[in-house]
Homo-oligomer: A and B are copies of this chain.
Amino acid sequence: MEMLKEKIRQEGLVPSDNILKVDSFLNHQIDPVLMMAIGEEFARLFADAGITKILTIESSGIAAALTAGLKLNVSLVFARKKKSVLMNEDVYMTDVHSFTKNETNQVTVLKKFLPAGETILIIDDFLANGEAALGLAHLVEQAGSTVAGIGIVIEKAFQNGGARLREKGFRVESLARIASLTAGEVTFVEECVQA
């Protein structure tokens, strides 16, 4: 998605070889026009997938899931992240480890908002090692619903999350794929290899 890549080139910060900061438009400050374009692109990519509901995770997934939901005309539900919660029979729950923050969160969603038999699109802002997306997929599985696809705003393609998800048979669509962040420079995966 060229508009997104251009924004990453202009405003993305690379403080180290595996960190890309995009908090000026994606996950702290938000550019609503770009976010609407992101939702439209997810809707276009998954137009044929029969999506009935979107599942994301707080906080940074909410904006993209909302605009995609608007364009796909389906509701969204955001899973909640807590350090620890009491067991509660009303929720589906899974552990998600964050390597960046070195902490494990219990991720929950109320069962009544993730019923069986739905065709779910999972959306998140970043894909690195795939922990969050796998956790969300695990919630969908517990619910007896189907993951029709995983929509990612920015995939760090030099980490193994994309491979892990695709190996499990998930359809992953990333709007920008980062090949490397070496020497403070963002390099995208080339979508088309020229002859």
Interface residues of A (CB under 8 A from B): 23-25, 28-33, 35-36, 58-59, 62-63, 65-67, 69-70, 73-78, 80, 109-110, 112-113
Across the interface, do A70 and B29 meet the contact criterion of CB distance under 8 Å? no
Q: Can you list 17 A-B contacts with CB-CB less than 8 angstroms, sorted by A residue number?
A: A23-B110, A24-B113, A28-B78, A28-B110, A29-B75, A30-B62, A30-B77, A32-B67, A32-B69, A32-B70, A32-B75, A32-B76, A33-B70, A35-B66, A59-B80, A62-B63, A63-B66
Overall SS of chain A's interface: mixed
Selected from B23, B30, B110, the residue in CB contact (under 8 A) with A76 is B30
Q: Which residues of B contact A78 (CB under 8 A)?
A: 28, 30, 59
Selected from B31, B70, B113, the residue in CB contact (under 8 A) with A75 is B31
Cα–Cα distance between A59 and B80 once the two chains are bound (Å) = 9
Q: Which residues of B contact A33 (CB under 8 A)?
A: 70, 73
Cα–Cα distance between A113 and B13 once the two chains are bound (Å) = 15
